[in-house]
Structure 1
Amino acid sequence: MTKKELSQLYDLNREIEQQQNRLGELESVLQGKSVRVAGIPLSLDKEVSGCKSEILDLKELISLNMEKCWHEIKKINRFIDSVEDSKMRQILRLRYINGLTWQQIAFSIGEFDESYPRQKHNTFLKATENLENNC
């Protein structure tokens, strides 16, 4: 599994977060707490109907992306479970499932230097990718 594949969960979570923020803005317009949202016309009656439509679309999109997240979590966990080295499994889970920074990972595994888990991770992924390319 490549770093790009492993990073999909992180990217999906950021995308969902942005969509949820947008949903909150639109719901504020409907509740009269906000007068203007980017991309929505100024006319109030058009604004409300446009908001309702976009809210429904966003809720559906968020739901689809949440399903993708669960799929990615399962896929990443299967990959991590196949790793023989316990410390490497910890690093991969903390990074790709929990979304921790390298410094947080270092502290979690009893290290103080963030370069330790990063280097161990990079070496492992490079070896894994080389092995996959040679098969």
Structure 2
Amino acid sequence: MVTKEVLSQYSDLQEEVKEVRLKIERLEKDISKIEAGEMVIDSVSGGDGGKQHFKIEGIPFPEYSRKKTLLYARKATLQLLEDDLLEKTNEVEEFIASVDDSRIRRIINLRFLENQSWNKVADQIGGNNTEDSVRKAFDRFMKE
């Protein structure tokens, strides 16, 4: 049985997937910058009693390695979240299809599958509905 908590978790899970995808995108950009030749330059002293100076160039390998590891971990997390989201999507869609009342189906679909605010749901439902009226109709339905 789908509860208000499951519907709420579904919305949160959608947002979490978006956030992880954004983090992955940023990491991939950082890694591609490093791979494209973003060099670190440093100078060291040595030789001839520490009087000679040498310029050293290279990629920041510790940072590169850390970001690659983090990228793999985030991709694994994303896969788990997407699997969970797919399972919850199927559960929520089956629940919505089982609802006899067309108005309630629309309310649940707009609010939870399309992730709209109660105010936007009321606007789309129309018929002088308010944010409170659609939310209360949903609450009454879920109590039954």
Q: TM-score category by the smaller chain?
A: 0.7 to 0.9
Alignment of 1:45 with 2:61, yes or no, is: yes
- Which whole-Å CA distance do the structure 1 matches of 2:25 and 2:62 have between them? 18
User: Residues 1-38 of structure 1, C-alpha deviation per residue, up to 9 Å, x if partnerless?
Assistant: 211111122111111122122212222321238x9xxx
- Partner residue of 2:44? none
Is 1:85 equivalent to 2:101 in the alignment? Answer: yes
Q: Indicate the residue corresponding to 2:136 in structure 1.
A: 119
The more displaced of 46-55 and 1-10 is: 1-10
Q: TM-score, normalised by structure 1?
A: 0.79
| Aligned partner letter, 1:116 | S
Separation of aligned partners in 2, 1:2 and 1:122: 11
Off by >2 Å, runs of 4+ in structure 1: none
TM-score normalised by L of structure 2: 0.75
Q: Percent identity?
A: 28
SS at match of 1:96: helix
Aligned residues: 119
Gap regions ≥5 residues in structure 2? 39-58
Aligned residue type for 1:19 = V
Q: SS of the counterpart of 2:33?
A: coil
> Residue 70 of structure 2 aligns to which amino acid in structure 1?
E
Instruction: Please give the secondary structure, in 2, of the residue aligned with 1:104.
Output: helix
Higher gyration radius (CA): 2
Q: 1:123 Cα shift?
A: 1.1
> Which of 44, 47, 70 is equivalent to 2:86?
70
Match of 2:122 in 1: 106
Please report how far the alpha carbon of residue 111 of structure 1 lies from its aligned counterpart in structure 2 after TM superposition: 3.7
Higher fraction of strand:
2
SS at 2:24 equivalent: helix
Within 1, Cα distance between the matches of 2:60 and 2:11? 37
Rounded to whole Å, the distance in 1 between the matches of 2:127 and 2:30 is: 48
Paired residue for 1:32? 33
- Structure 1 regions of 5+ residues with no counterpart? 36-42, 128-135
